[in-house]
């Protein structure tokens, strides 16, 4: 039996317990996930995602994997970019999030080049050297074994392919960091109570952000996973960072 522990927010839990605990959070918030994203970020998450798309280098005919793709914001944009000759796989470990994403994209008329796969990022069910680009947006911090997941992503990338990790990170300005902490721990749970009737899930989300590796640590982890030319860009003062690495 695996006796290792990991972080579930500020709580220490057994390795094998975290995935189930995270699943409960996202089953709870799935139906209000898009609404809460807009409220929590005041719509800025759409800018962060647009920058991710622009940095991806994805073009017509490419095959893209959107891990922890949830409600499909990135998948929708990639679907239009790759065209009929390309393919986008929306993968998420959580069935509730996957179902919300499928329904949303189907309502948008985007279905011809999208595949939906329930998958764990630590053990992606794809052959090696499959994808031209992989993205994981606001999902890596919820993964139990992040290093294993990054290795799994690197394995299924084609040589020359890009991995982009969009994730909450560490603000670079100490004053702004204090304001951000106040917002995260006082305002977010109240929004969660008001909109989703679930303050505990949004308290966990705030805690999970604080426990996620900082910019330089994540860069090193990506390099250790076998990616080259890893770089990152701080967005909104480091509240979010976009890391990009290439498989050579």
206 CB burial (10 A radius; 0-12, 13-18, 19+): buried
- Using N-to-C axis directions, what is the helix angle for 33-41 and 95-107, rounded to 10°? 90
In a domain? residue 189: no
From the annotation, which residues make up the binding site?
71, 92, 120-121
CA gyration radius, the chain: 17
pLDDT at 2: 61
In a domain? residue 193: no
pLDDT at 1: 53
CATH number of the domain residue 238 falls in: 3.40.50.150
Distance CA 135, CA 211 (A): 21
In a domain? residue 119: yes
pLDDT at 32: 78
Percentage helix, strand, coil, to 5, in the chain?
50, 25, 25
In a domain? residue 77: yes
104 to 65, 118, 148, 174: CA distances (angstroms): 18, 16, 30, 39
H helix runs in the chain, sequence order? 15-29, 33-41, 44-56, 73-82, 95-107, 146-156, 174-182, 188-196, 199-211, 215-224
In a domain? residue 127: yes
Tens-digit pLDDT profile for residues 154-211? 999 999 999 999 999 999 999 999 998 898 888 888 887 887 788 888 888 889 989 9
Distance CA 170, CA 184 (A): 13
Distance CA 28, CA 97 (A): 10
In a domain? residue 131: yes
Question: Which residue has tokens 């996202």?
Answer: 26
Domain count across the chain:
1
Burial 58-97 (b: 16+ CB within 10 A, else e): beeebbbbbbbbbbbbbbbbbbebbeeebbbbbbbbbebb
In a domain? residue 108: yes
246 to 8, 40, 140: CA distances (angstroms): 30, 31, 18
Distance from the first to the final alpha carbon of the chain: 36
Concatenating the DSSP letter of every residue in 195-228 gives: HHS-HHHHHHHHHHHHHS--HHHHHHHHHHTT-E
- Spans in the chain with pLDDT lower than 70: 1-2
Distance CA 144, CA 115 (A): 25
Q: Which domain holds residue 50?
A: 5-173+202-246
From the annotation, which residues make up the binding site for S-adenosyl-L-methionine?
71, 92, 120-121
pLDDT at 106: 93
């Amino acid at each position: 039996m695996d006796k290792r522990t990991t972080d579930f927010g500020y709580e220490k839990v057994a390795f094998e317990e975290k995935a189930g605990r995270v699943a409960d959070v996202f089953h709870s918030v799935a139906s209000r996930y898009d609404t809460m994203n807009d409220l929590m970020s005041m719509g800025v998450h759409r800018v962060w995602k647009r920058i991710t798309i622009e940095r991806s280098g994805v073009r017509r005919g490419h095959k893209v994997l959107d891990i922890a793709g949830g409600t499909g914001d990135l998948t929708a944009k990639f679907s239009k970019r790759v065209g009929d000759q390309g393919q986008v796989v929306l993968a998420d470990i959580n069935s509730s999030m996957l179902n919300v994403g499928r329904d949303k994209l189907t309502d948008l008329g985007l279905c011809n080049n999208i595949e939906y796969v329930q998958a764990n990022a630590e053990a992606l069910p794809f052959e090696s050297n499959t994808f031209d680009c992989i993205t994981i947006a606001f999902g890596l911090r919820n993964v139990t074994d992040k290093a294993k997941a990054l290795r799994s992503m690197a394995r299924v990338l084609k040589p020359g392919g890009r991995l982009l990790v969009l994730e909450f990170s560490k603000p670079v300005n100490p004053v702004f960091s204090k304001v951000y902490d106040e917002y995260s721990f006082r305002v977010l749970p109240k929004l969660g109570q008001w909109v989703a009737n679930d303050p505990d899930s949004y308290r966990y989300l705030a805690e999970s952000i604080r426990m996620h590796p900082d910019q330089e640590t994540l860069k090193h982890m990506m390099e250790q996973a076998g990616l080259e030319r890893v770089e990152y860009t701080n967005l909104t003062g480091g509240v979010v960072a976009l890391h990009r690495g290439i498989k050579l």
